[in-house]
Copies of this chain bind each other. A is one copy, B any other.
């Protein structure tokens, strides 16, 4: 029967990270529980929603945690409820004691709270992973790659494979992440410092976004392990499992062409603001598009909604090269693409009014490329 005492703040932080994998509305009722396992070495908290699973460990060696384990054991507690209770406790230390089978007494200051739990017997087991030969990535870089690609994945379940991000390693060092919803695409490349095993997986973009939230900026590197059905991202205290999407990811390389007719360099922020104005009006039009007119002298944006009004504006450019060209597209795609670009300038290359155009950060045209499909108008 479990018995331990712990610093409330450290415990809450681990509980809140684990909670990200737990949905109170899960179709499988037991998955709304949090699993607490206590050994003489520390506590492991586990949460899962069937798609992702998070294990969070607090060891007795962690001085901030002030963890003192008197007796080991394991129990399931209703996650949301338990976390609310812990965060409401008055003192900075709490005692956690199993007083009867699956019944827990929390003591903190003058508060005594008794909670009913459940046996861990029916909680699903996480699949064991072979944790040798990891891919090691800087947390910051991994989060950047996710923020550059995950938004471009589809949110529609009609083609499930497109709701994922395609992650590949070829020639043991060439890393590539790609996402597309068939209207736009975002691709990030990277050459790894250290050779490692090749891989080719599609991970749910939603899992990757959760991953970015779960690993704090204090975690320097993350180890990544692959199995046939899932991928494990692991730091010293957190193990984050996500399932792999099944299916064949479309070949996106054939979409990229090195040829172009018109090249314009914009200031990322001012192009984005112009598109945000255009979007206010284009949302009220039938096809939701903005028209960009490029001549050798200027780039102008136009939207015309017969019901609501119209926008005409000249957009600041750093340079315009090539043919005059007029193209229409959904400004939302361009806004989201520009949000993913951290560089001050963006280079956009157009082939024709009916062919996709590409965006690259002007200061790095090799590693990060995005593609947006235009809309044919009349």
Among the stretches A194-202, A223-231, A276-284, A343-351, the one at the interface with B is: A276-284
How many chain copies?
2
Within 8 A of B (CB), among A169-190: none
Given A116-B308, A308-B116, check contact A280 B313 (CB 8 Å): no
Given A115-B308, A116-B307, check contact A85 B313 (CB 8 Å): no
In angstroms, Cα B104 to Cα A310, docked, is 10
In angstroms, Cα B307 to Cα A318, docked, is 67
Among the stretches A64-72, A106-114, A241-249, the one at the interface with B is: A106-114
Contact with B along A301-318 (1 / 0, CB 8 A): 000000111111111100
Within 8 A of B (CB), among A71-101: 78, 81, 84-85, 88-90
A114, A274, A316 pick with most chain B CB within 10 angstroms: A114
In angstroms, Cα B276 to Cα A90, docked, is 11
User: At the interface, yes or no: A273 with Cβ under 8 Å from chain B?
Assistant: yes
State the main secondary structure of chain A at its contact with B.
mixed
Interface residues on A, range: 20 to 34
- A314 proximity list for chain B (CB < 8 A): 110
CB atoms of A280 and B85 under 8 A apart = yes
Given A90-B273, A273-B90, check contact A81 B280 (CB 8 Å): yes
CB atoms of B111 and A274 under 8 A apart = yes
Min CB gap A276→B, angstroms: 6
CB atoms of B81 and A113 under 8 A apart = no
CB atoms of B111 and A313 under 8 A apart = yes
CB atoms of B277 and A113 under 8 A apart = yes
CB atoms of A112 and B277 under 8 A apart = no
CB atoms of B81 and A311 under 8 A apart = no
Given A81-B280, A88-B280, A280-B88, check contact A309 B116 (CB 8 Å): yes
- A90 proximity list for chain B (CB < 8 A): 270, 273-274, 277
CB atoms of B311 and A111 under 8 A apart = yes
- A276 proximity list for chain B (CB < 8 A): 88
In angstroms, Cα B269 to Cα A90, docked, is 11
Within 8 A of B (CB), among A233-280: 270, 273-274, 276-277, 280
CB atoms of B281 and A113 under 8 A apart = yes
CB atoms of B273 and A88 under 8 A apart = yes
Within 8 A of B (CB), among A118-156: none
CB atoms of A312 and B85 under 8 A apart = no
Min CB gap A211→B, angstroms: 30
Partner of A110, one of B85, B111, B310, B313: B313
In angstroms, Cα B114 to Cα A284, docked, is 13
- A313 proximity list for chain B (CB < 8 A): 110-112
CB atoms of B273 and A115 under 8 A apart = no
In angstroms, Cα B280 to Cα A116, docked, is 14
Min CB gap A98→B, angstroms: 13
In angstroms, Cα B112 to Cα A314, docked, is 9
In angstroms, Cα B78 to Cα A281, docked, is 13
In angstroms, Cα B305 to Cα A85, docked, is 14
Q: A81-B280, A90-B270, A113-B281 are in contact. List 7 more A-B contacts (CB 8 A).
A: A81-B284, A89-B277, A103-B309, A110-B316, A113-B309, A114-B311, A115-B309
By Cβ-Cβ distance, the 5 closest A-B pairs, closest first, are A115-B309, A111-B313, A110-B314, A88-B277, A114-B309
